[in-house]
Amino acid sequence: MSNSRFTYPFCYTPDPLIVEESRRIISHIDQSHTLRNIFAEGKMLGVLMVDLPGANGHTDPLLHDCSGNRGFLYGFSGLAGGRSHIEGFVPPIFDTTSVDIDSSSPEESRRLQEWLFEQYKVLNAKGEESTILKIFSDAGLVPPGGTGDCAAPKMLQYAFRRGMKPLAMGEFWYGASPEREIRRHGCFYPSCTGKCGPLLGYMLQGLDVEPNPLESDNLWSIEDPFIRFEDNDLVVVDKPSGMLAVPGRNARKSLQDWLSEYCETEVFACHRLDMDTSGLMVFAKNREAQTALQRQFEERSVQKSYLAILCPNERLNTPAEGDSGTIRLPLMLDYYDRPRQMVDFEKGKMAVTGYKILRLFDDGCIEVLFTPLTGRTHQLRVHAAHPLGLDRPIVGDRLYGGTLPAGTHRSSRLMLHAASLSFRHPGTFSRMSFSSSLNGFN
């Protein structure tokens, strides 16, 4: 293992042993006509590495690839092919297929849901037990439908019941991609925050869990921001990857904080970059300049481009250098899994991105120049990863399936960089253009 702490399930890079075991699961399914048909529709699968409670643990029928005191458990989310039990995979925490859940009124439906979630009794690593209904109620929340049926809580519950200590975990997609959510065959994804946030928060109590990397003070290697231009009205800066653009909920210093200290005057944000994204940003030094610059962003008169490295996709033909096109996909927030976005042709807002293939790498990755014509949240990340986009997530994108195994020669950071920025100066109205290259793209 590359880490002695248990996987933080909501943002992680999969351990190499978890990656290896997931490939073994995929190969096993591919070679079984029955399993291939069950999972072909598309399903989130999970693998949990556990420390066994002595020799008796090796006799457990659901343990795979036991070596020494270590073994693996497999799980799947929800039902697969209408089944709640599949040989070789852990059982559900509570089997809803044995319950008639039809109801004749909204009130009866509510009561039935509450009763169901009282039947989901889960353990944590301390040996404590609670129900899903109480776990969510204690947090002032109502559990969404399907809570408790994901792969992660099912595997943890099975392990705790049998005295196994969880060591590492990963969840990945098998089969066809859905139309809305970003899910690609063989790619790892974090646990959902809506259904699994409070639940896993309870179940992991008592385990030494990795800290949330998004709240860590050691995000990759954050270098100092680089000032590109400064005058009395504005400052243009290269933002490092891993640095918040503007102040967030935690106390970590943002780029806006850093610039206010550097410039010895308060600066004001005019646009945003994701924390993981590096590259060019412009901040205003007074409210008048901020209003003028924000208006240019709203009117889409600001010209921007981004460099990105995309993951390999062996199922697609290799593009040619110079290939270009435009992606149009409507996006909306996945309310059960914030901040992830999804494609929705009925309720989503249209997002438009131009792209050009710049380079092909020997490892199957490709370098792309993106030119966004709209400014939706996670627009480039979704357009890169979605099957109706380029079907290749950005390297290092832990939300949309771009994680590479620990130890991979490529950087684990999100390989997305704001490479050019052009706007009119709010005071002189002259056109200003800046460009920036990303170190480490080779």
pLDDT higher than 90, residue 405? no
Structure token digits, residue 21 = 């075991």
- Per-residue pLDDT of 151-196, as tens digits, reads 999 999 999 999 999 999 999 999 999 988 999 899 999 999 889 9
Which is more confident, 214 or 370?
A: 370
Distance CA 248, CA 218 (A): 16
> Which residue, among 412, 386, 296, has the nearest Cα to 2 in the 3D structure?
412
Mean pLDDT of 136-156: 95
- Per-residue pLDDT of 275-329, as tens digits, reads 889 999 999 999 999 999 999 999 999 999 999 999 998 888 889 999 999 999 9
pLDDT for residue 99:
73
Q: Catalytic one among 149, 238, 274, 334?
A: 274
Q: Rounded to an integer, what is the distance from CA 269 to the centroid of its chain?
A: 26
pLDDT higher than 90, residue 75? yes
Phi, psi of 139 (to 5 degrees): -95, 5
CATH of domain 226-435: 3.30.2350.10
Q: Which of 313-317, 354-358, 359-363 has the lowest mean pLDDT?
A: 313-317
Q: For CATH 3.30.2350.10, list the domain ranges present in the chain.
A: 226-435
pLDDT higher than 70, residue 93? yes
**Which amino acid, residue 440?**
G
Phi, psi of 287 (to 5 degrees): -65, -35
Residues in CB range of 68: below 8 A, 6 or more apart: none
- Averaging pLDDT over each range in 248-252, 314-318, 392-396, which range is the top one? 392-396
Burial 15-45 (b: 16+ CB within 10 A, else e): bebbbebbeebbeebeeeeebeebbeebbbb
Mean pLDDT of 89-97: 93
How open is the CA angle 135-77-276, to the nearest 5 degrees? 80
Distance CA 435, CA 356 (A): 17
pLDDT for residue 220:
46
pLDDT for residue 317:
87
Query: Three-class SS of residue 437?
Result: coil
> Which residue, among 210, 298, 252, 243, has the nearest Cα to 3 in the 3D structure?
210
Average pLDDT value for the chain: 91
Which is more confident, 384 or 216?
A: 384
**Which amino acid, residue 400?**
Y
Question: 362 exposed, middle or buried (CB, 10 Å; 0-12, 13-18, 19+)?
Answer: exposed
Query: Three-class SS of residue 21?
Result: helix
pLDDT higher than 90, residue 223? no
Structure token digits, residue 353 = 């991105």
Distance CA 254, CA 238 (A): 13
pLDDT higher than 90, residue 236? yes
- Per-residue pLDDT of 16-50, as tens digits, reads 999 999 999 999 999 999 999 999 999 999 999 99
Distance CA 401, CA 231 (A): 41
Mean pLDDT of 429-436: 95
pTM: 0.86
Percent of the chain with pLDDT over 90: 74
Residue 138 has a CB neighbour count (10 Å cut-off) of 11
Strand partners of residue 234:
284
Structure token digits, residue 419 = 């490479």
DSSP 80: B
Is position 274 annotated as part of the catalytic site? yes
Q: Which of 11-20, 125-134, 159-168, 246-255 has the lowest mean pLDDT?
A: 246-255
DSSP result, 111-134: HHHHHHHHH-EEE-TTS-EEEHHH
pLDDT for residue 3:
65
In this structure, are residues 95 and 64 in contact, taking their beta carbons and an 8 Å threshold? no
Mean pLDDT of 58-86: 90
In this structure, are residues 156 and 141 in contact, taking their beta carbons and an 8 Å threshold? no
pLDDT for residue 442:
46
What's the maximum distance between 2 C-alpha atoms anywhere in the chain? 77
pLDDT for residue 56:
55
pLDDT higher than 60, residue 218? no
